[in-house]
């Protein structure tokens, strides 16, 4: 009921009467008032005026289940329609995997205000303080061969970049395969993990960490990391960012499923690829070389043109790509 009341308050341009809320939700005045009190305790500035009703004057930057449910109502068909929220947890990926094993449905969203065991690609740690960033994981149950699941990471990367461009008005770009960068620095990390049988996927979890309102970073990553607040000079609310990303992902995921490859998204992905048509350093396990990035193919591999003119497809699990003069 809290989510529904939040949604109705947001949608009303003026005060909405307590009686109208009661009639719409089929509850008592006392029940409505208890919800209003709870919202006020959580930081929502809800004005209550006799004979006029309630009006929401200001919302806090929270990512609680009720907040996200109120923002997501009728925005998606399945993405985020079940939400599990933690004020603090080890990592949203760990919790999403646990829920996956317990049978949680496709599209379940796990969100935390703080992580104490966040991880990035190749097992690297991810700074996860409370109240400043987005820590979310989406649980999927795709009916595709396991070998095709890594492409879902690129689907999410494109969806995050697209969502941030729309919701925050920033020139978010993709650093192949799945980092999101802004002005040459890392803004978002994405980590995909899956549980499979030989030819069957039990579930896939895609974790997304977004630096939103952080003012600074530890010295060791200060030169390569950034936040929306640092780049825009403005505090951003995290809830609308999450909703826009889920909305975009749901659409892009369904495009992906039509062909089970990235042919339907390749052109759009390459348009946002910061590496595209730039010289890059390919860092493999055994050797490294310079090449010009040409964009991805339908399988999500990065096509690069080597110094001898030959074109090679680079697989994300085997190499890292860096710019010649910096992170990108």
Q: How confident is the model at residue 297 (pLDDT cuts 50, 70, 90)?
A: very high
pLDDT higher than threshold 80 for residue 319? no
Same domain, 158 and 214: yes
Same domain, 50 and 113: no
Quick one: CA dihedral 63, 67, 69, 74, positive or negative? negative
- 185 or 321: which leads in pLDDT: 185
Helices 238-259 and 65-72 pack at an angle, to 10 degrees, of 60
Same domain, 43 and 106: no
Mean pLDDT value across residues 134-153:
96
- pLDDT tens-digit map of 301-317: 999 999 999 999 988 77
Same domain, 70 and 210: yes
Q: Give me the phi and psi of 296, to 5 degrees please.
A: -90, 160
Domain boundary among 271, 292, 312: 271
Same domain, 54 and 106: no
Confidence (pLDDT) at 10:
87
Of 160-164, 255-259, 308-312, 324-328, the range with the lowest mean pLDDT is: 324-328
Counting the structural domains of the chain, the total is 3
Domain boundary among 41, 58, 75: 58
Q: Tell me the CATH number at 42.
A: 1.10.10.10
Mean pLDDT value across residues 141-165:
97
Tell whether 298 is covered by a domain: yes
> Which has the closest alpha carbon to 132: 22, 240, 18, 209?
209
Confidence (pLDDT) at 118:
61
Same domain, 110 and 216: yes
- pLDDT tens-digit map of 193-216: 999 988 899 999 999 999 999 999
pLDDT higher than threshold 70 for residue 63? yes
Confidence (pLDDT) at 260:
97
Same domain, 72 and 171: yes
Tell whether 37 is covered by a domain: yes
Same domain, 13 and 89: no
Q: Tell me the CATH number at 190.
A: 3.30.930.10
Same domain, 266 and 184: yes
- 323 or 150: which leads in pLDDT: 150
Mean pLDDT value across residues 55-68:
91
Provide the 10 A C-beta neighbour count for residue 57: 9
Pairing of strands 279-284, 53-58: unpaired
Q: How confident is the model at residue 136 (pLDDT cuts 50, 70, 90)?
A: very high
Q: How confident is the model at residue 325 (pLDDT cuts 50, 70, 90)?
A: low
What radius of gyration, in Å, describes the C-alpha atoms of the chain? 22
Domain boundary among 255, 271, 287: 271
Same domain, 143 and 32: no
Q: Tell me the CATH number at 299.
A: 2.30.30.100
Q: Which domain holds residue 316?
A: 279-323
- pLDDT tens-digit map of 65-120: 999 999 998 899 999 999 999 999 999 999 999 999 999 999 999 999 998 876 55
Confidence (pLDDT) at 1:
85
Tell whether 165 is covered by a domain: yes
- pLDDT tens-digit map of 234-279: 999 999 999 999 999 999 999 999 999 999 999 999 999 998 999 9
Same domain, 143 and 231: yes
Same domain, 231 and 83: yes
Tell whether 328 is covered by a domain: no
């Amino acid at each position: 009921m809290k989510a529904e009341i939040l949604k109705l308050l947001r949608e009303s341009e003026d005060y909405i009467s307590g009686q109208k809320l009661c009639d719409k939700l089929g509850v008592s005045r006392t029940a409505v008032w208890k919800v209003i009190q709870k919202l006020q305790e959580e930081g929502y500035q809800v004005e209550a005026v006799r004979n006029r009703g309630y009006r929401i004057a200001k919302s806090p930057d929270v990512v609680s289940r009720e907040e996200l449910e109120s923002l997501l109502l009728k925005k998606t068909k399945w993405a985020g329609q079940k939400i599990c929220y933690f004020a603090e947890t080890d990592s949203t990926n760990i919790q999403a995997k646990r829920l996956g094993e317990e049978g949680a449905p496709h599209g379940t969203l796990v969100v935390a205000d703080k992580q104490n065991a966040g991880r990035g690609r190749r097992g690297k740690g991810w700074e996860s303080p409370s109240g400043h960033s987005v820590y979310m994981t989406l649980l999927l149950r795709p009916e595709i061969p396991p070998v095709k699941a890594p492409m879902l990471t690129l689907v999410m990367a494109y969806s995050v970049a697209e969502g941030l461009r729309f919701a925050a008005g920033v020139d978010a770009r993709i650093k192949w395969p799945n980092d999101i960068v802004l002005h040459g620095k890392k803004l978002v990390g994405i980590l995909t993990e899956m549980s499979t049988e030989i030819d069957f996927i039990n579930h896939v979890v895609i974790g997304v960490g977004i630096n939103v309102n952080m003012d600074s970073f530890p010295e060791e990553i200060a030169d390569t990391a950034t936040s929306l607040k640092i780049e825009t000079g403005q505090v951003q609310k995290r809830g609308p960012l999450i909703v826009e990303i889920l909305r975009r992902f749901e659409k892009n995921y369904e495009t992906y499923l039509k062909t089970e490859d990235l042919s339907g998204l390749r052109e759009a992905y390459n348009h946002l690829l910061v590496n595209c048509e730039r010289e890059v350093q390919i860092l493999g396990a055994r050797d490294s070389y310079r090449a010009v990035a040409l964009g991805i193919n339908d399988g999500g591999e990065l096509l690069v043109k080597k110094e001898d003119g030959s074109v090679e497809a680079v697989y994300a699990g085997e190499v890292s790509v860096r710019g010649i003069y910096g992170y990108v």
